[in-house]
Structure 1
Amino acid sequence: MNSKQIIKEIKEKQKEIKSVIFVGCGASKAELYPAKYFLDSNAKNIRVSHYTANEFNYATPAAVDNTSIVITASLGGTTPETVKAAGKARELGAHVICLTHSANSPLTKNSDYVICHRFSENYAAKLEKMGYALELSVEILEQFEGYKYYEDMQTGFSKIYDLAQTSAEAALLDAKKFAEAYKDAPQIYVMSSGATTEVAYSTSICLMMEMQWINSGTFHSGEFFHGPFEIVDKDVPFILLMNDGSTRPIDARALTFLQRFKAKTAVVDALDYGLSSAIPKTVIDYFNPMLITAVFRVYAEQLSYARQHPLTKRRYMWKLQY
């Protein structure tokens, strides 16, 4: 079933949905954020929340019942905390949808509806989890409240995957320059804003800390001037994931400050890859995370080559009981 069919079937069972709750861990949690951001920005009556799975398990929100849709994600469908969260939500009567690469995984068995996505085929395929979550949010809003830019979102979905793939391929030269400049950095700070906020978060905790063992911190570009900017100095390394849309001035203000004090700054800017020429301006905010994710994956790959540290290398994950 696709997103439209799933939400249609839920509506046939439950005429009113009061809350939508996104649940996941790590990168999967972050990939649900653009969908959450979309509903936050546009829904007038639906309560929206976003949980790391074990907090959902231990501090379950009271709103979880038959008027809730719970959307979970796990690449392999085996993340124990997320599997447990899906089961808990289902027991409480919620309509549970899971996004996973693995059909018949434990997560699918605790869910009412399953959407399987691709991952390894190319850079565009790696965006499908994020994209399908966003499609679910658009359908929830359209079918339960109505959304005037619904067709513009469909235009965006029809174009973003090809644009992201070609953008990733075009980023190789800049990615190699980034890798050479950052390969010996003792720590790297990452920031962004808007729907891309948790792409910055996952870049920091997954691509840098998990996959490269580089100390990293992340924060919203709008929060930069409320604490983090005190560590800015010449050659302190930053990554700024710059949006093309309503929050661009927030990112631009941070960039101006970084340049003023000559911080080492790598900018991945959606404007450079033509997002506004492909996506309607009415909905451009929600497609920044997909484009930027594809492009920065190339940066991460090149960094791993320069450091001779594969993105798949781990010390603890999948190797120890924890």
Structure 2
Amino acid sequence: MNVKEIVSAIKTDKPEIASVYFVGCGASQADLYPGKYFLDANAKKLRASLHTANEFYYSTPAGVGPDSIVVACSLSGGTPETVAAAQKATELGAEVISVTIDENSPLAAAGKYQIIHGFAKDYAAKMEKMTNVLALSCEILNTYEGYAHYEDMQDGFSKIYDLINDSVKTLMPRAQAFGKAYKDMPMLYVMSSGATAMVAYSFSMFLMMEMQWVASSSFNCGEFFHGPFEMVEKDVPYLLLMNDGPTRPMDARAMTFLQRFDTKLTVVDAKDFGLSSVIRSSVVEYFNPILLCGVLRMYAEQLSLERNHPLTMRRYMWKLEY
């Protein structure tokens, strides 16, 4: 079933929905954030929240019940914590939607509905999880409350994958330069804002700490001047993800400060890839994380090559009981 069919079926069974809970672990949790951000920005009645799966299981929000939708996400569909969270949500009467690449996985079986997405084909395919969840949020909002820019969102969904794949065709020199310049860095700060805030978190936590064993921290550009800017010094490595849309002034303010003190700064800017020339201004902010996360994969790949440290290398994951 596609997202429209899923939400239509839920609406038939549940004419009223009060809340949408997004549940996952690691990068999958981060990929849920744009959908949650979209509902926060546009829903007048629907409540939305984002939870790491184990916390959702052990400290389940009191509002989870028959008037809830729970979106549970795991790339493989086998993450035990997410499967347990989905099963608990089902027990509480929520409408559970599983998001995974494997229709035969435990997570798929734990959900009443399934969104099965791709991943391996190309850089755009790696964004299918995030994009499908954003599309689901848009469909939920339009079905239960109405949404004035629904058609603009649908137009964006029809174009964003081509934009990612077109962008990476010209990106190699910049990605290689990042890899060469940052290969010996002891740590990396990653920053963004708005719908892209959790892309910065994901790049820091998983592509850097998990996959490269590089110490890293991330923060929202809106928080930069409320503490983290005290760490700014010459040649300290920063990666800034700049949005095209209403939170861009926050990113620009942070960039100006980082340049002022000669940090080792790389900026990945959605405007450089022509996002607003493809996506309508009414909805452009919601597509920033899809585009920026899509192209960032190349930066991580080139860094891993320069460091001779494959993205698949692990010290503990998949090797120990924990």
Give TM-score, length-normalised by structure 2.
0.99
Match of 2:116 in 1: 116
Runs of 4+ off more than 2 Å: none
Match of 2:75 in 1: 75
Answer yes or no: is the 8 Å Cα contact 1:22–1:49 preserved in 2: yes
Which runs of no fewer than 5 residues in structure 2 stay unpaired? none
Q: Residue 101 in 1 paired to residue 96 in 2?
A: no
Match of 2:162 in 1: 162
1:170 Cα offset (Å): 1.6
Q: Give the share of equivalent positions with the same residue, in percent.
A: 62
Q: Deviation per CA, 1:81-100: give whole Å up to 9, x if none.
A: 00000000000000000110
Q: Which amino acid aligns with 2:282?
A: T
- Partners of 1:114 and 1:154 lie apart in 2 by 20
Instruction: Find the residue that maps to 1:252 and give its secondary structure.
Output: helix
Instruction: Find the residue that maps to 1:71 and give its secondary structure.
Output: strand
- Partners of 1:62 and 1:170 lie apart in 2 by 49
- Partners of 1:14 and 1:274 lie apart in 2 by 40
Q: Deviation per CA, 1:96-140: give whole Å up to 9, x if none.
A: 001101111000111000111100110000000000000100000
Match of 2:216 in 1: 216
Equivalences, count? 322
Q: Which amino acid aligns with 2:119?
A: F
How do 1:308-319 and structure 2 match up within 5 A?
Answer: 308-319=308-319
RMSD value, Cα: 0.5
Answer yes or no: is the 8 Å Cα contact 1:35–1:134 preserved in 2: yes
Q: Residue 230 in 1 paired to residue 241 in 2?
A: no
How do 1:135-174 and structure 2 match up within 5 A?
Answer: 135-174=135-174
Match of 2:289 in 1: 289
How do 1:1-322 and structure 2 match up within 5 A?
Answer: 1-322=1-322
Q: Which amino acid aligns with 2:7?
A: I
1:274 Cα offset (Å): 0.2
Which runs of no fewer than 5 residues in structure 1 stay unpaired? none
Instruction: Find the residue that maps to 2:154 and give its secondary structure.
Output: helix
1:294 Cα offset (Å): 1.1
1:169 Cα offset (Å): 2.2
Q: Which amino acid aligns with 1:27?
A: A
Give TM-score, length-normalised by structure 1.
0.99
Answer yes or no: is the 8 Å Cα contact 1:167–1:294 preserved in 2: no
Q: Deviation per CA, 1:210-269: give whole Å up to 9, x if none.
A: 000000000001100011000100000000011000000000000000000000001100
1:162 Cα offset (Å): 0.4
Instruction: Find the residue that maps to 2:280 and give its secondary structure.
Output: coil
- Partners of 1:290 and 1:198 lie apart in 2 by 11
- Partners of 1:317 and 1:265 lie apart in 2 by 31
- Partners of 2:7 and 2:226 lie apart in 1 by 40
